[in-house]
Amino acid sequence: MAATIRDVARASGVHVSTVSRTFSAPHLVNAETRNRVLAVAEDLGYRPNRAARALTTGRTHNIGLIVADISNPFFPPLIKAAQAHARTRDYHVFVADTDEDPQVEEELIQTLTKQVDGVLLCSPRLSNRVIERLHADVPFVVVNRRIKGMPTILMDVAQGARLAIEHLTGLGHRRLALAAGPSGSWTSGQMREAASAAAAASGAELVILGPNAPTEQGGLAVAAEVVASGATGVLTYNDLVAIGLIEGLYERGVRVPDDVSVVGVDDTLSGRLNRPKLTTVAMPTSAAGRIAVDLLLQSVGDGRTSTLTTLETRLVVRESTGEARS
């Protein structure tokens, strides 16, 4: 017969409730006791019945994680960090991709609400009003969107945009362009405001090009507008747009960084492998994934919080930027 929770408690010399807490809330159990219970459970081949535990505790021990586009290399490090950290808290993560579609995002949230204890919304495309309505049914933590009264993690893209513009103007570029992101992106709006202010403070001119798809195709498509604008320095919505833009500029006989300097955002592997290697704003995606899980489980366990966590970004200078031609 399969070992039961009572068998584990008897062999460990603890109460049944302690065994239950070891699996459902391990952070509440003394480390020595927890390790003893886990060792006994392993020896006996005991595995907790998650469905039964959900009925008694009201917790599924599942988390939903919804991203705008899983093929975007910005998201995988965040997903992996969130999954790994959730496992240490005895939680499983269901990952869903909205394909940049707000309607799909809303449908996924409504579906997951019945199966999870909370949802991590990463770079959502829904309006604040819709997110606030859906939040009434399930705890949320929002990554890269600030919504009043909701637990939020922001990667300081505004700081990153300022650093990028200051880098370009420091190289002598006076006519700049921002290849903006999709129209529903809160991050793109933050970049626009910060880049405009930084350009004005440096006495440079900034033209906004977009909205653009947050993909290499989006970068290819905006290349003609960059050339027509006369900009010699460009900040893009993300690394994918930057890589596509560089390709589009080369197709038009424009060299990077000899003729035009390009800065991406995210510091993805694709940017590091690109030629020229991409100057970019590094985003702390792995840290955001871990902190998001902690905030969500705090919200699930202790009631909903409105904690705002802002993570610093930094500029990584590589080969795609250089001095403006005189």
pLDDT attached to residue 46:
87
On average, the pLDDT of the chain sits at 92
Of all residues in the chain, the percent with pLDDT exceeding 70 is 95
pLDDT attached to residue 51:
55
Residues 6+ apart with CB under 8 A from 325: 232, 258, 259
Domains (range + CATH), the chain: 5-48 (1.10.260.40), 60-155+285-310 (3.40.50.2300), 157-283 (3.40.50.2300)
Residue 49 in tokens: 């019945």
Instruction: Tell me the DSSP string of 201-233.
Output: HTT-EEEEE----SSHHHHHHHHHHHHHHT-SE
Euclidean distance between CA atoms 207 and 215, whole angstroms: 20
Do 82 and 297 contact (CB within 8 A), yes or no? no
Q: pLDDT for 60-114, tens place per residue?
A: 789 999 999 999 999 999 999 999 999 988 899 999 999 999 999 999 999 998 8
What are residue 62's phi and psi, to 5 degrees?
-120, 145
Q: pLDDT for 239-280, tens place per residue?
A: 999 999 999 999 999 999 999 999 999 999 999 999 999 999
The region of weakest confidence among 43-47, 53-57, 100-104, 308-312 is: 53-57
Helix (H) or strand (E) holding 279: strand 279-282
* Residue from 324, 317, 59, 326 nearest 176 by CA: 324
Euclidean distance between CA atoms 241 and 219, whole angstroms: 4
Euclidean distance between CA atoms 85 and 291, whole angstroms: 9
